[in-house]
Structure 1
Amino acid sequence: MRISSVFDAGNILVKSASNPADIRLEIEKDNGSDFYQWFYFRLTGAKDQVVRMTIENAGGAAYPKGWEGYEAVASTDREVWERIPTTYTDGKLVLEHKPDGDAVWFAYFAPYSMTRHDELIAACQQSGQVRLDVIGTTLDGRDMDRLIVGEPGSGKKTVWVIARQHPGETMAEWAAEGLLTRLLDETDPVARDLLDRAVFHVVPNMNPDGSFRGHLRTNAKGINLNREWDKASEANSPEVLAVLEEMKKTGVDLFLDMHGDEALPYNFIAGAEGVPSFTEEDARLLNAYKDALASINPDFQTKHGYAVDKPGTADLSIATNWMAETFRCLAMTLEMPFKDNADMPEPSEGWSPDRSMKMGASQLDAMRAVLHRLK
């Protein structure tokens, strides 16, 4: 029996693995940081045996409340990820499973590897509506890919969509894939109408280094990119700096930043209500987007979410707040769950890549509903 994680996005430390009924593990911290919660590893040699794996340092993870009501995922083909019995007690997370294959992969959420990212980029560039450019490089020297969809034209709006500032929030890139797949479907009337009236700039993965390294929340240096928008630098956050430099050239009319939330079992949007310039019209526009999305996709709701910042108190290092204040645009953060959606549970897979992609695709309907109201 063997446990390994030396692969794209892998993360686990093996304390002991001689007894299938008592495997002891720890999650490794993000490099240069105290953040950790993402895990992804392969177990071989335990086919048809009941295994019990204890992650001993789960209680010190970034969001321990995220373990409450949570179930890990497992796969033998790395395509379908099923939820498995998982319990959290006394700071320890226990996974139980009976593999039906010689190798089984376990993860915090269905992984989105850098290999799949490359496949997404390759697929998108086959469309005549897409231009791909590399807008910068990461601290580890990886490319920062930006996809431009649509042709510039007089009166067209500029939409920016970014995903996966926090690399362990893989549902964000699954959602980006869903959005792009629909946007490039030449038979989809919503996509066609949007591209007649807007140009999209999409960065499907804001944090390639953290993604490959198996980080939860930070880049190669241990920097949380979603606290860098007011101070982005080549030394700490070239990923954010590269995007901001391009935004200055294009302007921004609508900004969407896609994430995952460890604790809340809901899909919701956080706006920029706390920035100094936020107006009543801004609030109406934000609510119109959320209401349109809720009417389109029942997996989205508006009752549960983050507490709204008081006027003038927003943290401008956060992307949505910085964008709203700097570009005076509709700026939003989409949050999806690591757990299942409590409003519409699906016991086998829970919140999944497929549902994430559908949520990403649904953003186009909501964008179309408000596009004519953008400043």
Structure 2
Amino acid sequence: MKISSNFDAGAIEVLSLDDPQAIRLRLRSDNAADFHQWFYFRLLGAAGKPVRMVFENAASAAYPDGWQDYRCVASYDRQHWFRIADTRYQNGELVVEHTPERDSVYYAYFEPYSHERHLDLTARVAQSPFAQVRDLGSTVEGRDLDLIVVGQPAPGRLPVWLIARQHPGETMAEWFVEGLLERLLDGADPLARRIREQAMLYIVPNMNPDGAVRGNLRTNAAGRNLNREWRTPDPVASPEVFLVRQEMERTGCGLFLDIHGDETLPYVFFSTAEEVPGFSAEAAAAQARFIEAFAAVSPDFQTREGYQPGRFGEELLTLASKWVAHRFGCVSLTLEMPFKDNAILPDAQVGWNGARSKRLGAAMLDPLWRHLQHSPSRARD
């Protein structure tokens, strides 16, 4: 048997591989920070053998509560991913038991979204007559920070910003963007057409390509949690935020969405802006309309479960959606999707996955359209 992870987003440490029933593993930390929970590796030579894989340091993961009711994902072709039913957290260890049908099988924390797929996505978008792909600048390690612009500049168009994958291990976020873009750039979709006519959309599919390629959970190549950098981004250590914020100041922002995944909660939900200083009654009404519109079109979304007030404390205005709400006074939300399954609409075979994330992204056009109907016909400064 052999375990390998020397590929895009691969991450694992192998302690022992002598016995299929006693494979000992460790979750690998981010390259420059002590966060670990993401894993992605290939097991070779175990077809027909019952294997028992133990992740010894699961208790010290970034979110150990996330292991409760979690099920590992696996794939033979890296296209179709399924959940391993016999996944359990016991005595501080994550245990996965599985009998592979083939000699090559991949295991991951969640369905991966590779950098190659990201490049394919931006290349496909660049061929659309409705979009442009622009370069905002370079990441810490010199990768391109891609910005997708949809719409033609004209007076009164509302600037809408959507960013994803500040935390690179939250791959469902880029699946979401792919689904949103597929619908938004569909020439036959009347809602997409109207949105393209009335808004300027600025979309960053992957805020953290360095971390994504490295197989990091939460940080960029310099060890920075990008979603704690928005108040005073460092142009050297967190250029990704610095560059996006700089462009946002140039364009203005009339609606902001930051797309994430949550390790612990098995729900789709928004983190809202009530705690942001200066949050007005007008902003509250606009936020409520947006949330109501999303709930009306996606049964996967719910409003009962979410983050408790005060969760972010003094860090509040270092977070993207909270900083944007404070700076621009617009509807500014963080969308969270589960790493596990969606408890209100569970799927025993795949749990929450890339396909469901894509459908949720496509559904986001409906509340966006409603927001445009209620927004002033001018760009906000």
TM-score in terms of structure 2 length: 0.96
Residue 27 (structure 1) aligns with: 27
2:74 equivalent to 1:68: no
Which deviates more, 255-264 or 289-298? 289-298
- Cα distance, 1:249 vs structure 2: 1.1
Amino acid at match of 1:25: L
Residue 305 (structure 2) aligns with: 304
Residue correspondence of structure 1 range 1-375 to structure 2 within 5 A: 1-84=1-84, 85-309=86-310, 315-375=316-376
* In 2, Cα distance between equivalents of 1:117 and 1:367: 24
CA displacement 1:120-178 (0-9 Å, x = unmatched): 01111110111111101111110000010111112111111100000000000000101
Q: Secondary structure at the match of 1:316?
A: helix
Amino acid at match of 1:43: L
* In 2, Cα distance between equivalents of 1:334 and 1:190: 21
* In 2, Cα distance between equivalents of 1:307 and 1:59: 23
Contact residue 275 and residue 314 of structure 1 kept, 8 A? no
Contact residue 11 and residue 40 of structure 1 kept, 8 A? yes
* In 2, Cα distance between equivalents of 1:174 and 1:306: 23
* In 2, Cα distance between equivalents of 1:331 and 1:300: 17
CA displacement 1:38-96 (0-9 Å, x = unmatched): 00000000011111100000000000000001001000011111000200011100111
- Cα distance, 1:308 vs structure 2: 3.1
Amino acid at match of 1:56: E
Aligned pair count?
375
Q: Which ranges of 4 or more aligned residues in structure 1 deviate by more than 6 Å?
A: none
Q: Secondary structure at the match of 2:318?
A: coil
- Cα distance, 1:274 vs structure 2: 1.0
Q: Secondary structure at the match of 1:220?
A: coil
- Cα distance, 1:313 vs structure 2: 6.7
Contact residue 283 and residue 329 of structure 2 kept, 8 A? no
* In 2, Cα distance between equivalents of 1:221 and 1:344: 38
Describe the shift of the 1:314–1:15 C-alpha distance in structure 2 as closer, same or farther (beyond 3 A).
closer
Amino acid at match of 1:49: K
* In 2, Cα distance between equivalents of 1:146 and 1:292: 27
Describe the shift of the 1:313–1:44 C-alpha distance in structure 2 as closer, same or farther (beyond 3 A).
closer
- Cα distance, 1:199 vs structure 2: 1.1
* In 2, Cα distance between equivalents of 1:87 and 1:314: 33
Amino acid at match of 2:5: S
Amino acid at match of 2:224: I
* In 1, Cα distance between equivalents of 2:17 and 2:287: 51
Residue 379 (structure 2) aligns with: none
Contact residue 161 and residue 201 of structure 1 kept, 8 A? yes
Contact residue 183 and residue 191 of structure 1 kept, 8 A? yes
- Cα distance, 1:340 vs structure 2: 0.3
* In 2, Cα distance between equivalents of 1:19 and 1:339: 29
* In 2, Cα distance between equivalents of 1:309 and 1:251: 28
Contact residue 275 and residue 313 of structure 1 kept, 8 A? no
Contact residue 330 and residue 374 of structure 1 kept, 8 A? no
Name structure 1 gaps, 5 residues minimum.
none
CA displacement 1:269-315 (0-9 Å, x = unmatched): 111111111012211111111111111010000110012349x9771
Which deviates more, 104-113 or 27-36? 27-36
TM-score in terms of structure 1 length: 0.98
- Cα distance, 1:348 vs structure 2: 0.1
* In 1, Cα distance between equivalents of 2:268 and 2:315: 22
- Cα distance, 1:235 vs structure 2: 2.0
Contact residue 272 and residue 332 of structure 2 kept, 8 A? yes
Among the aligned pairs, what percent are the same residue? Answer: 52
Name structure 2 gaps, 5 residues minimum.
377-381
Contact residue 274 and residue 313 of structure 1 kept, 8 A? no
